[in-house]
Amino acid sequence: METTSRKQVTYFYDEEIGNFCYGGGNPMRPHRARLVYSLVNSYGLGKQMQVLRPQPRSFEQLTEFHADEYINFLKTVSPNNVEEYMVQLRRFNIGLAGEADCPVFDGLFQYCQTYCGGSVDGAAALNSGKSDIAFNWSGGMHHAKKAEASGFCYVNDIVLGILELLKVHARVLYVDIDIHHGDGVEEAFYLSDRVMTVSFHKYGEFFPGTGALDDYGTSKGKYYTVNVPLKDGMDDASYKMLFEPVMAKVMEMYQPGAIVLCCGADSLSGDRLGCFNLSMEGHGNCLEFLQKYNVPMLVLGGGGYTLRNVARCWCYETGRLMGVDLPDNLPESALNEYNYYLDTQRLRIAVSNMKNANTHDELEGIKIKVLQHLSCLPPVPSAQMAYRPAAKQREDLPEEDMDARGGGQLHDEARRARPGEDSDDEAMPDAQPRADTVGTGAAAPAAPAAGG
């Protein structure tokens, strides 16, 4: 493996995340995060970064953005009592398993607590200066609103992570390369100049139906919302033609203190719900381009519904941001643990021959219009000097017991266990380990309240 520059990297993962299931054939599979972690470790990347178990967010912490009544509903409802909450189901856009994008399922509230914990802990790691890059591939739930679930998303971990970053940084940049518009995050900060949201997405008779080119914010947030609407078939060259000049202008004009990325893999070629034609190299180029600015980065998941390619993509991008060029042949341990990768037994995926519906002239027009909007931005905004909410403090790992494997019990409980130290292979309906293997297992900028 070729290794280049090395940054301080923290990877947040809880092995329990893969046990949650939306049910009823829902295309969203939390099990994706387990596949990514397994593949990352198969390549040996886990030994080159700090891997931590996120601290679940409490009711009070989730209501830093979300409505109390909504979070209380998520905490209370279950498949056993769902019939008692039919009015609330309609109100909060939640339904029954097999009938809704956002169903009630066992452990729903714990699932939300866990993936949100990874994003807020990641933001805290960046705030403390202990990490340059923080990963939470189980996060990226960009559709969730203040009091409404949407598009497989219940609680908006991205907004909560950004609010944590705003306790230290005057300006935070949010970039979304999921094929779907990042409507929930945009809505939360639509009136603010302390968060710029940039979304590259399919637009036109496609969920969620928002994110038009001329939708650029209002009030103090005017021009701090950037939308790049696209058509079917976007390929690497077309995406790069737009992404790099737009983001270069954003970085020039906005100069953020931190970047949050929603890296939905449904913009890859061949995704079950997507209609773009990006390769992993084209998708990963977006992350690498932003990394060149040497700004702390919180890297989150998002959409992605062809599981084998989601795991491949996020593993590849983990490596690229760590300065490691992973070999294309998958490690034997990855092929032995799960049967997902037997199609090609390779890391990188092939693109299709689908037609690119985006013409060069159309893309040029979009680029020119976006750059014109960005040119209207005033000088870099400063935040008022005011009381700063206390930043989240995560306890350091306890002192290691040098005579005990892994540093001792307390050290082991605080971190994510390494492969082989415990079992992480609970069977999923469509994710069985292969039969021939055995699982191993002072005054400072004030953070604005996000509005729904």
Q: How far apart are the first and last CA of the chain?
A: 46
143 catalytic per annotation: yes
- Which of the residues 31, 66, 142, 143 is marked catalytic? 143
Per the DSSP assignment, residues forming a β-bridge with 226 are 198
Question: Which residues are marked as active site?
Answer: 143
